[in-house]
Structure 1
Amino acid sequence: MDDRLKKLKGSMRRTVLQDLNFTEGLKHNIKNKINQIHETSEEDIILAVFQLLKQERTGFELSKLIRARGIKTFENEEGFLYMTLHKFEQKGYVNSYWKDKDVKYYQASTKGLRLLHTLDNKREGKAYSLKEILDR
């Protein structure tokens, strides 16, 4: 398989990618835009999750509502959403409970609501709070 990929890559360079020429300035601009999108999207995702979890919701409901906001991070990767919710739950930002043995509901805890308030109101707080959630 590795040899086939190498051959494909070489073939792409000789045909499709042959006419592409990126200057260093253009490469730098593209990298900056990608970094800006990445930073913004993490913040948007966390804000969206906590805003939506003011009310109890299932993971499926949450996923649909996040997609409705135009955030496609969890599209086709719902497992990542559940890992994120579990991480928030372990840190005390989200509470959950099982209903009817097969449906799990999530809701922002008091700590999660305080975090949401901080994220909504303070620019400096956003960077600190996001770092706190993602790194610990």
Structure 2
Amino acid sequence: MEKRLRGLKKAMENTYMQELEFTSMMKKRIHDSIAKEAISEQDVLTSLLELLAKERTGFELTGLLQARGIRKYEDDEGSLYSLLHEQEHRGIIASSWGSSGEKYYRLTDKGRRVLEKTSKRASRARFSFKEQSEG
């Protein structure tokens, strides 16, 4: 380790930083918070549109997004419904009420076109990143 880094580490050990301890629960919260922020809004929207290729309820969507590693709505399902309402207002998705009172969401034709464009853009971005990382 470089001399200046060793000095920094020693200085941190001799200050109040030494007294900080994180419980496993605090570590999990920090990790979850970072994970929630790591996924872009575009990635969330793309995943949502992919899942809506089949008609689903908001509850189903929450679970399926979590299964994809998108934990953004885990403790705040209300924001998912706000996003769904916004996309419905834009004509990208449509909704209908089921016989048991649940609301179902599905892609519209416009939504399918948006998904196709978004998927192509994401594919190009991944290809570009792969080229840069290999080069």
Distance 1:64 1:18 in 2: 41
Distance 2:103 2:73 in 1: 18
Give unpaired runs (5+ residues) of structure 2.
Answer: 1-14, 19-33, 126-135
Q: Deviations over 1:108-130 (max 9, x none)?
A: 1111110000011135x99xxxx
Deviation at 1:40, TM superposition (A): 4.1
TM-score normalised by length of structure 2: 0.62
Give the number of equivalent residue pairs.
94
Deviation at 1:19, TM superposition (A): 2.9
2:78 partner amino acid? G
- Aligned partner of 1:65 in structure 2 is 64
Q: Deviations over 1:51-91 (max 9, x none)?
A: 00011000111111000001000001111100100000001
1:105 is paired with a residue of what secondary structure? strand
Cα RMSD (Å):
2.4
Greater alpha carbon shift after TM alignment, 83-92 vs 99-108: 99-108
Give unpaired runs (5+ residues) of structure 1.
Answer: 1-16, 21-33, 127-136
**Is residue 2:17 matched to residue 1:19?**
yes
Deviation at 1:41, TM superposition (A): 2.4
Moved over 2 A (4+): 17-20, 37-41
Identical residues among aligned pairs (%):
38
TM-score normalised by length of structure 1: 0.61
Q: How does 1:85-96 map to 2 (within 5 A)?
A: 85-96=84-95
Using a 3 Å threshold, how does the CA distance of structure 1 residues 73 and 40 change in structure 2: closer, same or farther?
closer
